[in-house]
């Protein structure tokens, strides 16, 4: 059944209200079941042995002693995960990342795993496994990895995207380029040219719930996996491929999720848990420690970049260039490419270019992290924008307004924009009272903008009406940010019933068709679209049942306010039939009443944000304190404003932590020195002021409700907003994140002397 996805400016009764969240009580009372909260009879405890070396050849692994330990039921190594990937290099990399195959590529790379009857025995068994390593030279810094003579991380890699195709291995896995116009001509037209280099250190998503799963594989090839993940179908498809299982026979259930932010869009230890279970013929529960989460799962990239902007005195940017170097960890990816695509997306530029290098280093495989790759590029671009503004003596907001992209602008990464929110968020910032608030000594204000694409993709929804007229909505996108509330609201809106009558669940992979992973802020956009259509499908059935009850043509029945109404001269006097009444009689009118929808949700609307930040810097210690912070973002349509504000705040909070203190610290030995929340410093509650939000609603023309994704964009501006504020507070231009007190104090000393 085809549906029209166009925005219709429908009037809402439920959507836009701040209804109670359906998962609240379970979460605050501890009843919610997360990854580690499921148990099975006879389950074993799984544990993973990890490489202490950044780069090593694995000559041999002796598991015999561990196998002999009483209580150990299975020990697995790469030998138990044979290569079934048939030349699919992406899948092979995933396999190798789950379990080292003859070489360890980073500190924390899994090399073996055990399943035992209790945690104590599992721990002892790990100590009995002897791995014979031949230590190889390693490289962990992105700039070092690009130098000739750097240790090669993946000898198979030949740089993609350069002409002629190279014949020698390189740590540069890919070079990508975006843009248009003539840079040289553009810079020649400029009155001022500002060039600056930047670095950002590696950060982790820092979700509070560690990875956890319960895996069970029977001797008949039927398997189940309970797991904390953003993508149960991704888990199913990947694990089935790696273990040689049939997709339909591996049932994956997504647990309640304690944060993912992109880090749970990949498989990590789940194939290992399944392999252990298969070998032991018992269910295996595998829960990572925090240290393992830091060392063995995917953070985002560290980067290094050069930004160059040319502008006329009137503020017109004549040329803009970015050269971006992103490290992807030990496996090739496209994170640099995404950085290049997002770098200049906020602006309408005649001559623009972004070149990205995706670089391999001996660090964990990089995973998505909320608007992956965009924050770093924006740090460089938005910091340089402020430098340009200062150079020509223009207000930073005015400079951005003058160059802001608008409807019809050809984006630097290719497409031509429809209606977009960068201009409106900038105007809102300009007029925001925050911009005029007084500042004290050592205090400064900064602002910055951010962009994120948002995704759509494959989606499938079932809507079933119970005999009392209440409604079950089964979706396949994991609820990472309140989607169950929003989707229930959409179903209630379409059916014309109260929100409380709808119960939304995230179905397991055997109960619903394929759904792409909840990433790219696609959950509410795509499942929201499918819910609209599934509800309309159910309404069609309801009208048919009413027509049948009344014995009139269905085209004489309309659905309004949760009831079927007959209309026209002949039928207008029939009393309406409510959803409850139709549901109660369903058995006699044709059976269960349901609506379904399967789509590829296209047309995810791009999203923009502008942030304002006030900061105070202690000139004697370099310590900074965020005094006030305002997030202004385009939501398309805020289905549940509380959740939208929560997403804005959460994204900004993560960006602030990243900007100020978070970083992976590697020693000269290539080992991660701070794999814990004590020394990997995310922002704590008392570090932050109340983060103010302002929701703008510029409807996405490609969604019936105008929805755009809202979850990611606001992690993009904070790095530069803070750097710009710091520059105004302390007179130092920070070009390296985190802008931690030792770095800031050093910069202050260098700028102003002791």
Partner 1 sequence: MRYESPKTTKEAAGLLAKAKGNAFVLAGGTDLLVRLKSEVIDPDLIVDIKRIPAMQGVTKTAAGFRIGAATSCAELGENAALKKAWPGVVEAATIIGSDQVQGRCTVVGNLCNASPAADSVPAMVAAGAKAVIVGPKGRRTVGVEKVVAGPGKTTLKKGEVIEAILLGKGGAKTGDAYLRFIPRTEMDIAVVSAGICLTLGPRGIIKEAKVALGAVGPTVEIVSAATKVLVGSTLDEATLEQLAVVCSAACRPIDDKRGTIEFRTEVAGVLARRAAKIAYQRAGGK
> Is position 665 an interface residue for partner 1 (rule: CB under 8 A)?
yes
What is the residue whose two structure tokens read 């309004």? 560
Phi/psi at 629 (5° precision): -145, 130
Distance CA 189, CA 198 (A): 25
Span from 481-489, 532-540, 678-686, 721-729 in contact with partner 1 (CB under 8 A): 678-686
Smallest gap from Cβ 386 to partner 1, in A, equals 24
306 binds partner 1 (CB under 8 A): no
Is 28 or 678 the residue whose CB approaches partner 1 more closely? 678
Which of helix, strand or coil describes residue 518?
coil
Which is nearer to partner 1, 29 or 686 (by Cβ)? 686
**CB contact at 8 A, 96 and 34:** no
Residue where the block lists tokens 């004590």: 678
- CB-wise, 592 or 742, nearer to partner 1? 742
Q: How many residues bind partner 1 (CB under 8 A)?
A: 25
CA distance linking residue 29 with residue 34, whole number of Å:
13
89-98 and 270-280 helices, crossing angle to 10°: 70
Site for partner 1 in 274-293 (CB under 8 A): 289, 291
Q: Report the nearest approach of partner 1 to the CB of residue 743 (Å).
A: 9
CB 653 within 8 A of CB 627: no
Using omega within 30 degrees of 0 as the cis cutoff, is the peptide bond preceding 738 cis?
A: yes
Minimum distance from residue 753 beta carbon to partner 1 (Å): 13
Reported as type and span, the H/E element at residue 8 is none
Q: Which of residues 644-663 bind partner 1 (CB under 8 A)?
A: 660-661
Do residues 524 and 638 touch, judged by C-beta distance below 8 A?
Answer: no
Question: Is the bond into 164 cis (omega within 30 degrees of 0)?
Answer: yes
Q: Does the protein bind partner 1 through residue 750 (CB under 8 A)?
A: no
Q: Give the whole-angstrom CA distance, residue 116 versus residue 75.
A: 9
Alpha helices in 459-578 (DSSP H): 483-495, 528-550
Q: Does 17 bind partner 1 (CB under 8 A)?
A: no
d(CA 54, CA 145): 14
Of 257, 577, 604, 683, the residue at the interface with partner 1 (CB under 8 A) is 683
Per CB under 8 A, 24 contacts partner 1: no
State the Cα–Cα distance between residues 100 and 522, nearest whole angstrom.
33
Helix (H, G, I), strand (E, B) or coil at 62: strand
Taking the C-alpha atoms of 492, 498, 501 and 507 in order, what is their torsion angle to the nearest 10 degrees?
A: 30
CA atoms within 13 A of residue 726's CA, in its CB half-sphere: 33
194: contact with partner 1 by CB under 8 A: no
Q: Which is nearer to partner 1, 49 or 428 (CB)?
A: 49
Q: Which among 503, 531, 497 is positioned nearest to 515, based on CA atoms?
A: 531
How near is the Cβ of 682 to partner 1 at its closest, in Å?
A: 9
Q: Which residues 341-380 are close enough to bind partner 1 by CB under 8 A? A: none
Q: How far is the CB of 732 from partner 1 (least distance, A)?
A: 15
Does residue number 210 form part of the binding site for partner 1 (CB under 8 A)?
no
List the x/- string, 109-148, binding to partner 1 by CB under 8 A.
--------------x-------------------------
Among 19, 143, 687, 731, which residue interacts with partner 1 (rule: CB under 8 A)?
687
Rule CB under 8 A: is residue 736 a binding residue for partner 1? no
Residue number with CB closer to partner 1 (532 or 719): 719
Per CB under 8 A, which region of 46-54, 422-430, 556-564, 680-688 contacts partner 1? Answer: 680-688
Helix (H) or strand (E) holding 684: none
Q: Does 684 bind partner 1 (CB under 8 A)?
A: yes
Tokens of 93: 């990399």
The one segment of 9-17, 298-306, 724-732, 745-753 that binds partner 1 by CB under 8 A: 745-753
Asked if 203 touches partner 1 (CB under 8 A), the answer is no
Interface pick for partner 1 out of 498, 746, 751, 752 (rule CB under 8 A): 746
Please identify which residue in 681, 689, 731, 736 interacts with partner 1, judged by CB under 8 A: 681
The residues, any chain, with a CB within 8 Å of residue 416's CB and separated by 6 or more, are 408, 409, 410
Q: How far is the CB of 290 from partner 1 (least distance, A)?
A: 9
Q: What gap in Å lies between CA 529 and CA 614, rounded to an integer?
A: 38
- 618 to 647: interface string for partner 1, x by CB under 8 A: --xxxx------------------------
CB 544 within 8 A of CB 258: no
Measured on CA atoms in the order 585, 588, 592, 594, is the torsion positive or negative?
negative
Distance CA 651, CA 635 (A): 14
Least distance between partner 1 and beta carbon 625 (Å): 8
Nearer to partner 1, 131 or 635 (CB): 131
Question: In this complex, which beta carbon is closest to partner 1, that of residue 176 or of residue 297?
Answer: 297
Nearer to partner 1 by Cβ, of 622 and 699: the residue is 622
- Residues engaged in binding partner 1 (CB under 8 A): 123, 289, 291, 620-623, 660-661, 665, 673-674, 678-679, 681, 683-684, 686-687, 740-742, 745-746, 749
């Amino acid at each position: 059944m085809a549906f029209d996805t166009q925005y219709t400016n429908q009037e809402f009764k439920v959507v836009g209200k701040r209804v109670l969240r359906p998962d609240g009580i379970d979460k605050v009372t501890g009843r919610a079941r997360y990854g580690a909260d499921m148990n099975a009879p006879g389950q074993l405890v799984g544990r993973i042995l990890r490489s202490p070396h950044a780069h090593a050849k694995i000559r041999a692994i002796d598991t015999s002693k561990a196998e002999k330990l009483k209580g150990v039921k299975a020990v697995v190594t790469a030998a138990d995960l044979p290569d079934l990937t048939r030349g699919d290099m992406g899948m092979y990399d995933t396999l190798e990342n789950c379990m080292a195959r003859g070489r360890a590529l980073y500190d924390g790379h899994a090399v073996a795993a055990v399943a035992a009857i209790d945690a104590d025995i599992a721990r002892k068994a790990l100590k009995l496994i002897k791995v014979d390593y031949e230590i190889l030279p390693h490289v962990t810094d992105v700039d070092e990895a690009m130098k000739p003579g750097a240790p090669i991380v993946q000898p198979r890699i030949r740089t993609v995207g350069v002409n002629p195709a190279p014949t020698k291995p390189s740590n540069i896995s890919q070079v990508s380029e975006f843009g248009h116009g003539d840079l040289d001509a553009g810079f020649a037209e400029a009155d001022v040219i500002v060039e600056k280099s930047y670095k950002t250190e590696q950060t982790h998503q820092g979700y509070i719930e560690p990875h956890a799963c319960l895996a069970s594989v029977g001797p008949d090839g039927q398997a189940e996996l309970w797991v904390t993940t953003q993508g149960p179908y991704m888990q199913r498809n990947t694990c089935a491929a790696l273990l040689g299982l049939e997709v339909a026979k591996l049932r994956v259930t997504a647990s309640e999720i304690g944060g993912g932010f992109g880090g749970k869009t990949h498989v990590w230890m789940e194939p290992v848990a399944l392999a252990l279970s298969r070998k032991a013929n018992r269910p295996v529960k595998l829960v990572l420690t925090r240290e393992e989460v830091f060392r063995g799962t995917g953070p985002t990239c560290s980067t290094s970049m050069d930004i160059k902007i040319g502008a006329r005195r009137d503020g017109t940017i004549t040329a803009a260039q970015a050269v971006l170097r992103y490290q992807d960890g030990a496996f090739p990816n496209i994170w640099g490419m995404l950085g290049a695509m997002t770098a200049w997306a906020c602006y309408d530029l005649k001559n623009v270019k972004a070149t990205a290098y995706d670089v391999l280093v001996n660090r964990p495989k990089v995973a998505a992290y909320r608007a992956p790759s965009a924050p770093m590029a924006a740090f460089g671009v938005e910091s340089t924008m402020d430098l340009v503004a200062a150079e020509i003596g223009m207000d930073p907001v005015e400079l951005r307004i003058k160059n802001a992209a608008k409807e019809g602008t050809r984006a630097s990464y290719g497409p031509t924009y429809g209606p977009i929110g960068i201009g409106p968020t900038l105007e809102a910032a300009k007029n925001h009272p925050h911009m005029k608030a007084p500042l004290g000594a050592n205090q400064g204000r900064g602002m910055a903008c951010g962009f994120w694409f948002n995704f759509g993709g494959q989606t499938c929804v079932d809507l079933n009406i119970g005999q009392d007229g209440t409604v079950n909505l089964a979706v396949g996108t994991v609820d990472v940010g309140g989607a169950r509330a929003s989707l229930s609201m959409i179903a209630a809106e379409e059916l014309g019933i109260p929100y409380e009558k709808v119960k939304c669940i995230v179905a397991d992979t055997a109960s619903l068709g394929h759904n792409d992973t909840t990433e790219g802020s696609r959950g509410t956009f795509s499942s929201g679209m499918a819910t609209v259509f599934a509800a309309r499908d159910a309404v069609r059935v309801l009208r048919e049942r009413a027509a049948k009850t009344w014995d009139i043509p269905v085209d004489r029945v309309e659905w309004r306010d949760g009831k079927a109404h007959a209309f026209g001269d002949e039928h207008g006097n029939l009393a309406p039939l409510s959803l409850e009444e139709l549901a109660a009689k369903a058995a006699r009118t044709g059976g269960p009443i349901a609506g379904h929808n399967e789509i590829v949700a296209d047309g995810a609307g791009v999203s923009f944000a502008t942030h304002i930040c006030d900061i105070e810097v202690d000139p004697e210690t370099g310590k900074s304190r965020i005094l006030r912070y305002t997030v202004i973002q385009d939501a398309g349509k805020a289905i549940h404003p509380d959740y939208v504000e929560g997403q804005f705040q959460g994204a900004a909070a993560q960006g602030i932590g990243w900007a100020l203190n978070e970083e992976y610290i590697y020693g000269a030995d290539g080992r991660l020195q701070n794999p814990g929340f004590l020394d990997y410093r995310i922002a704590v509650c008392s570090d932050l002021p109340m983060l103010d939000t302002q929701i703008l609603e510029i409807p996405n023309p490609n969604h019936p409700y105008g929805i755009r994704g809202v979850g990611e964009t606001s992690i993009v501006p904070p790095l530069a907003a803070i750097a710009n504020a710091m520059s105004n507070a302390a007179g130092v231009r920070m070009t390296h994140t985190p802008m931690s007190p030792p770095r800031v104090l050093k910069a202050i000393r260098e700028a102003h002397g002791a």
